Structures are given as C-alpha cells and as structure tokens.
Structure 1
C-alpha cells in the first residue's frame, strides 16, 4: 500500500506514541551536537522541550504529562550512561550489497538508518532507542532483523567489525544487548533474501496484471486497530474498533 498502490491510499493521522518516540530521538541526537562537557541531564531535558510536539495526544494536559515524563527519561538516561564519547554515526544511513553465502555475488542491497553507532574497543555497536510500552529483552535484540542488517551494513560501510546490537528503552532504563556470530548474521540475511524474493515475485506479477488482493492478501489481526492504512482497508476495519491516537503510549 505504501510502495505499489497509486494513488497512495489514505492514511490515519498522527499517533502520540510516534510523536513521543521522534521527539526523544531528536533530543538525544541533538545532545551529541553540543560539547561533551555540556551533555548534562539538564541540557538533555531542555533539548526535549525544544523539540517537543503535541501531535496525536488527547489534549494539552496529556501532552504536558508526557512532555514531563520524557524530560525525566532523557535526563535519567544521560545521568546513567556515558555520553562523553562522540558516536561514529547519528541517524547514520548505512548500505551494503550482500549475499548470505560467503564468496558469492551480491544478491540484494540492505540499507537503513541507525539511531546511533558507537565505537568501543575498536568495534562498532548499533544502538537503537525505544520508548514503547514494554521493555525489550536480549531475545528481542538478538531476533531483530533490522538491528542485524544495521550491523552488517555498518561493518561494510565503515570498515570496522560490528557484531553487538543494543536496545535502549528510555521509560524503564533497560538496555537489552546481543552479540551476533557470523552464523546468526547469515541466518538474518537468508531470511531477508527469502522475503525480498517473495516481494520481488509478487511485485512483478502485479505489474504483469496479477490480482493485487491475491498477491498481497489482507491478514486481519489485533494490530489492524492502529494500522496507518486502516482508513483504506475494509478487512482491517472489520477486524476491530479503531485505536485512539494516544492508546499506545507507554503507561
């Protein structure tokens, strides 16, 4: 619906949890633009206020409540983490042609924008900020295909080893980390290649006149309540009531 349908189907309006996540990301990114000595909890909280937006919140009172919480999150994050070292990348775009099988010609290009890339002891570390309702664990960090792809692409782009990935959950202060092996990264690449091939085949068939509903069937489930394309999907609308724009905020 985002990439193939034209005109692009109607989407929902802004979501408060997305606004909150974007504001926290922007504040932490801006923090590293100031000299290390000024990267204080107070400065982090001030940057949060500077980047604040109210889109998606129920009202001004709810927005103010979450602004205060988010200021506390970033202040505590800076207080309990070493932010004096400059990252190798902030919102860094990394890209690489790859093949899951060593020594074979590239079969796909993986790319994405990593929240933060640190260098520790000569190796790169992928850092991803989270502001959701649930604190992540090691399994989530290890099983995240996006983080694995960032690690592979960062190593190829920046020419330094990269096997460690971390999820930093601001509301709880949790850091979930995982260290990949060459085989675990290959497994993620194989999965990505299988998905890419399925999408490529379906896209080509659609362009040749195939039935879009058969090639890309709706799979209604609970998440349809907060899908961005819900206004344009009858199956999603039938799956359940629409979520309020603020219902996915961390409690």
Structure 2
C-alpha cells in the first residue's frame, strides 16, 4: 500500500548554488572560471592590482566604521580607519601609494559628511543565502553572496554596494547589475522583508546610482542567472566525466585579458592584449 505523503518515483530536483562572482566570471570568460574554481592546484596568477587593493581598503574601512557606535562615526574617524586598513599591493611605488591613501581618506571622510551614517544597517559585509525559483515552480537555485551593506528604510531593505573605480555608475548600471538583483532576492527571503531598491555608492565622486526593481525585473535577472548556472553545471559535469577542459571552458579573449588574474597561465589571453600595469585601472 502506498504511503501517504511520499512519491518514491520522483527524483528531487538538485539545487545549484550560485554566487554573483561565479556567474560573472563564467559570463566574462569560461577559461578564467575554470582556473578560479575548478583547477587544482590553482594556476599561476598575476600579482596584486592597485585598484583591487584600494577597493578592499575602502570596503574594510567602511565596515569598521559601522562597527562603531553612531556618535563615533565621524569624518575624521573614517579617514583614520583608511590609514589603519591601508595596504600597498599593486601600486607603482611608495609615492603613488601615499597619494592614493590620502585620496581614499578624503573619499570616506566626504562620504560620512554627505550621508547619514548614524542608522545601524541590518547587515554589513553580510553573507546571505536563500533558495529561489527562477519561475513559478519549486526552488532551483540557492543564491549566495556577501552584500556590502543592507539598510532598512521605511520598513524595506535596501542593498548598498560601494564602488571605487574610474567610471561613475548610473541608474542603468544599478538596474542591470545581476549581483545587486540577486542580493535583493536573497535578502528578502532571508530577512523576510521586501527588497526592491538597490544602490551603487561611488566613493570618488560621492554620487549614488539607484534603481527600484519590480517583481518582473528581478525574475528576469534570476532567469539569466539560472541559464548561466545550467551552462556551468553542464560543463562541470562533462569535465568530471573526462571532457576536454579547453573545449568546455574556452577562453573568451578581449581587452580584459590585459588585466586578467590568470594571464600568466593563458596563452590565448597573452596574445589577445598587451599586459596592463598593475596600477592602470585606478580612479584618476
């Protein structure tokens, strides 16, 4: 006699874990994805990049700022936190590193001056993970990632992402960011509050690029994430079964090969573009 509540003839659907970083890496270059996440030992990489060092320092300083009581979140303390977090990796020389340390100190001091930082975020550098469905069916993905900041405003969650690059972001970049959309969905599921607004905070200019998502726009981003996740899973499974790694994870060459972390291990990338200097992507 059949047991109630069980159907042993139906295989449960496998949930695929995805992060924005993994999806973005695969979309940019499947070869870089394989070298980053699958190849062991990890292939030879470049040294540190100054723009990555700078971004990490600013992120760490702002994280430390929100660990302080609200009355201590002052421009002077924010600037001091940059000095405490500072690293020199990737800069041309000590003089350039000193100049950018002072710029970063001014960026975060101005940021604190212009923005209300007295409210406690619900999350700072918070890891979030939630099962989601890309359609109306059961969950098919587990969306994971670390959000720079999650605010609560008027009862709703807001995803905040810090940027320190050359180019000032705009509303279209905020709306089109798959990472921000995925964080919004995962945060809403995890923290059980609506989350539609996403913001890019550009520290060099102090500008904020914001977008308000709808249910449809979030679903479109999830569908795109699901499609990429399916491609990754198929290529990974085929590789494990003995498939050709270069065919399954081809190099997608272009200008970005100049500053790819795995340039020393990729002949195609070396031929595609001349090597960038480690400080060339710094904001002016």
Report the TM range for the smaller structure's normalisation.
over 0.9
Q: Which runs of 4+ in 1 moved over 2 A?
A: none
1:201 corresponds to which of 216, 234, 237: 234
TM-score of the superposition, structure 2-length normalised?
Answer: 0.87
Gaps of 5+ in 1: none
SS of 2:281 mapped into structure 1: coil
2:146 corresponds to which of 113, 124, 148: 113
- For the residues of structure 1 that align with 2:142 and 2:156, how far apart are their CA atoms? 23
Q: CA deviation at 1:128?
A: 0.2
Mapping of residues 44-83 of structure 1, within 5 Å: 44-83=78-117
Partner residue in 2 for 1:147: 180
Q: CA deviation at 1:6?
A: 2.0
2:48 corresponds to which of 14, 28, 50: 14
- For the residues of structure 2 that align with 1:86 and 1:177, how far apart are their CA atoms? 20
Q: CA deviation at 1:18?
A: 0.4
Q: Does 1:37 align with 2:85?
A: no
SS of 1:196 mapped into structure 2: helix
Mapping of residues 131-146 of structure 1, within 5 Å: 131-146=164-179
SS of 2:37 mapped into structure 1: coil
Gaps of 5+ in 2: 1-34
- For the residues of structure 2 that align with 1:101 and 1:205, how far apart are their CA atoms? 26
Partner residue in 2 for 1:161: 194
Q: CA deviation at 1:174?
A: 1.0
- For the residues of structure 1 that align with 2:219 and 2:264, how far apart are their CA atoms? 38
Equivalenced residues, count: 250
Higher-Rg structure is 2
Q: CA deviation at 1:214?
A: 0.9
- For the residues of structure 2 that align with 1:3 and 1:58, how far apart are their CA atoms? 29
Q: Does 1:218 align with 2:273?
A: no
Q: After superposition, what is the alpha-carbon deviation per residue over 1:4-47, rounded to whole angstroms, capped at 9, x for unaligned?
A: 11221111111100000000001111111111111111110011
Q: Does 1:247 align with 2:275?
A: no
Q: CA RMSD in A?
A: 0.7
Q: After superposition, what is the alpha-carbon deviation per residue over 1:129-174, rounded to whole angstroms, capped at 9, x for unaligned?
A: 0000000000000000000000000001111110100000000111
TM-score of the superposition, structure 1-length normalised?
Answer: 0.98
Q: After superposition, what is the alpha-carbon deviation per residue over 1:151-201, rounded to whole angstroms, capped at 9, x for unaligned?
A: 000001111110100000000111000010000000000000000001111
- For the residues of structure 1 that align with 2:273 and 2:226, how far apart are their CA atoms? 33
2:270 corresponds to which of 237, 241, 244: 237
